[in-house]
Each structure stands twice: as structure tokens, then as C-alpha cells.
Chains A and B, each alone.
Chain A
């Protein structure tokens, strides 16, 4: 099993550009989430999904879109990149409620 795979590992964007961060898991997990990590801020929830076709907002959803068309994939789209979106992004999945989350290795995004 590959676990949770995130691509790309590093990305530099110009302000205003759009892009999609990919996340895939092969563990048949129902729950998937996107977090961003900034120094001193811990991990902040962007969007999450409790199953295919179901998504909802976390605490910092503005500027990001998600979709969950399959159980395996949960891409995060940046609509119009801003320097404030410079961060490390982690995708995580869990079998279901009350199970631990497995994290991907992260995407380090810089917006200039």
C-alpha cells in the first residue's frame, strides 16, 4: 500500500495563477481532509470529506475548492493564488470516525 500520496512536493506559483494539489489514498478510507500548516499556527483545516460526493468547509476554506468524485481522490484547487496561501499543505485520510489519520508527505507551496 502506498498510503496517502500527494503531488507535487514543491510548487512555486505567481500571484493570480491557479493550480490543483493532488491527493490519493489506496486504503479505502472514507474520511479525507486538507490542512495547511504555517509556523506557530499548527494545522488548520481547509476542507474535508466524509465520503465520495460529500465535501464541507473547515476553518479556512476561502480561496480553495475541493471535490470528491471517487473514494480514492481528493484534489484541492487554488482558484487565484495569493501570497497568503504560501504554506505547507497536508492531505490526510481516515478509515472513518474515531480512527487515526494517515498523512501524506505534504506539498510546500510558495506564492510570489
Chain B
């Protein structure tokens, strides 16, 4: 089964509201990656976090890696309709396998 759990599964927000998705692993991750998939498209790599407690920003997106390297979050400030899509976290497990979370589908209501 999935090694990486993600919540919530769905999120509807009014345009301009903030949005956060959370990713939790049962094991310590050496790194965690985030991807965005637009409806009908393919996942696109956004960012990688490696260090405990690391915080990275990409314009309105803020990514955090937990101190224990078992959880991560993606926060979007003031959502726009272009943010619509499904956001996945992903991390390596033993043996070079790379598992994706179940994803959070974001709908932005204009």
C-alpha cells in the first residue's frame, strides 16, 4: 500500500483564499518532492526538500519539511484559478522505490 499519506483528498476554496495540503510518512524520508498535475495533464516537478525543518518558497507557494523528516506541507497564499490541479508529495523508500502520496485535488472558485 501507499507509504506516503496526504490530506485532504479534496479542497475547494474561493479565489484569494489560502490553501494547505499535508503529507505524512510512516518512515523517515531522505528527501521529499512535490508535484502538480493539471486536469488532464501529467505531474510536473515543483520542488525538492532535503534538510530537516527546511522551508522553501516559490512565489505564493511555501513548502516545509518537518523536523523529523516524516511530514511536509505545501501552502498556497491567495489562490488563483491557475492553481487548480492535484498536488502530490513523493518520497523514496528502501531500494530506490519512489512513492507518491494520494494527492490533494484543489478547486478554485472564481
Contacts and interface: CB of A to CB of B under 8 A. Distances in A.
Interface string B78-109: 00000000001010100111111111000000
Contacts of A53: none
A98 B44 contact: no
Chain B interface category by residue count: 20 to 34
Interface string A72-112: 00000000000000000010101001111111111000000
A42 B103 contact: yes
A98 B30 contact: yes
Interface string A38-76: 001111110010100000101100000000000000000
Given A98-B31, A100-B48, A42 B88 contact: yes
B66 interface: no
Contacts of A43: 43, 88, 90, 100, 103
Given A40-B9, A97-B96, A103 B44 contact: yes
Given A48-B96, A97-B92, A41 B102 contact: yes
Contact of A35 (B2, B48, B95, B100): B100
Interface string A7-23: 00000000000000000
Contacts of A33: 98
B96 A50 contact: yes
Contacts of A44: 2, 100
26 contacts: A31-B96, A31-B98, A33-B98, A35-B100, A41-B102, A42-B88, A42-B100, A42-B101, A43-B43, A43-B100, A43-B103, A44-B100, A45-B97, A50-B96, A56-B96, A59-B99, A90-B42, A92-B43, A98-B30, A98-B48, A100-B33, A101-B43, A101-B45, A101-B98, A103-B42, A105-B42
Interface of A: 31, 33, 35, 40-45, 48, 50, 56, 58-59, 90, 92, 94, 97-106
